[in-house]
């Protein structure tokens, strides 16, 4: 009996339900990394005993969770939490580049304008809720509604404005959010990952990798590859990691 294809092997016969997070670097002229979550330049990957399994060195972080969890202290205040939420919606990318402080300031201002603000977010604030208080399950259900509302606003205002930011920001949200959902993990970070993610999936930083992964435990130290993900605050390797987070796991 033929062995099933491993979860880490791409299936070129199906259409991707999302755009790669670094799509401009995958298909564009530049090979410069868009994200730098790992301080190592070289991936540490090996085939195990001639099998279809891969041994991968990575930093294993928290789990995807569906319940309420506290945001970590480094967020500082509620405003920085809201900015993190809005930055995650675009995977911190505008016009195929990482957003600059000026870009981000304009984007946050645009996000809160009456003609662009999504009703679901506006209602959240009106009822006294804040993005740091809702559960991962609520985050997961929020993104499809946000995308639909933003697309509606874009179509309404497309012919009535010459504001280039409108098109840029709408495009950034649509590209990053297509086929993805928001999630929280047990470390208190907000992330953007494939719709197929589940409670208990693990966030990890592959050694030498240029994007984060979500992996799913199968058995002890054996995982399936779920997909790439964006996690705000972890994409540039600027968060100290505990020494015991580095380990080799098996991708089946």
Distance CA 169, CA 172 (A): 5
SS3 (DSSP) at 52: coil
**Coil, helix or strand for 206?**
strand
Report residue 32 CA to chain centroid gap: 19
pLDDT tens by residue, 22-43: 755 555 555 678 898 987 767 7
Q: Which residues contact 232 (CB under 8 A, 6 or more apart)?
A: 84, 87, 88, 92, 189, 190, 191
Domain ranges of the chain: 23-66+193-251, 74-182
Among 33, 14, 13, 12, which Cα is nearest to 22's? 33
Reduced to 3 states, what is the DSSP secondary structure of residue 190?
Answer: strand
Mean pLDDT per 10-residue interval, the chain, length 252 residues: 62 75 58 81 74 85 74 56 86 89 89 74 62 68 77 64 76 88 85 91 92 93 93 86 84 86
Identify whether the C-beta of residue 189 lies closer than 8 Å to the C-beta of residue 62.
yes
pTM, two decimal places: 0.82
What distance in Å separates the CA atoms of residue 79 and residue 85, rounded to the nearest whole number? 10
| Tens-digit pLDDT profile for residues 126-152 | 555 666 666 666 777 777 777 777 777
């Amino acid at each position: 009996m033929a062995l099933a294809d491993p979860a880490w092997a791409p299936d070129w016969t199906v259409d991707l339900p999302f755009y790669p997070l670094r799509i401009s670097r995958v298909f564009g002229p530049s090979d410069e990394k868009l994200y730098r979550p790992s301080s190592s330049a070289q991936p540490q990957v090996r085939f195990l005993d001639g099998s279809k399994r891969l041994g991968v060195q990575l930093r294993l972080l928290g789990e995807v969770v569906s319940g309420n969890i506290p945001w970590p202290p480094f967020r500082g205040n509620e405003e920085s939490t809201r900015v993190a939420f809005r930055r995650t919606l675009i995977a911190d990318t505008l016009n195929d580049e990482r957003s600059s402080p000026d870009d981000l300031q304009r984007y946050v201002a645009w996000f809160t304008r009456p003609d662009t603000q999504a009703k679901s977010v506006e209602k959240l604030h009106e009822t006294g809720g804040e993005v740091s208080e809702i559960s991962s399950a609520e985050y997961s259900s929020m993104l499809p509604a946000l995308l639909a509302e933003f697309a509606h606003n874009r179509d309404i205002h497309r012919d009535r404005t010459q504001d280039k930011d409108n098109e840029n920001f709408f495009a950034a949200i649509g590209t990053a959010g297509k086929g993805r959902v928001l999630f929280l993990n047990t470390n208190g970070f907000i992330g953007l990952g494939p719709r197929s993610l589940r409670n208990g999936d693990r966030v990890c930083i592959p050694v030498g990798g240029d994007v984060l992964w979500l992996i799913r435990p199968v058995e002890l130290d054996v995982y399936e590859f779920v997909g790439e993900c964006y996690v705000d605050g972890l994409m540039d390797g600027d968060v100290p990691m505990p020494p015991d987070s580095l380990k080799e796991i098996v991708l089946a």
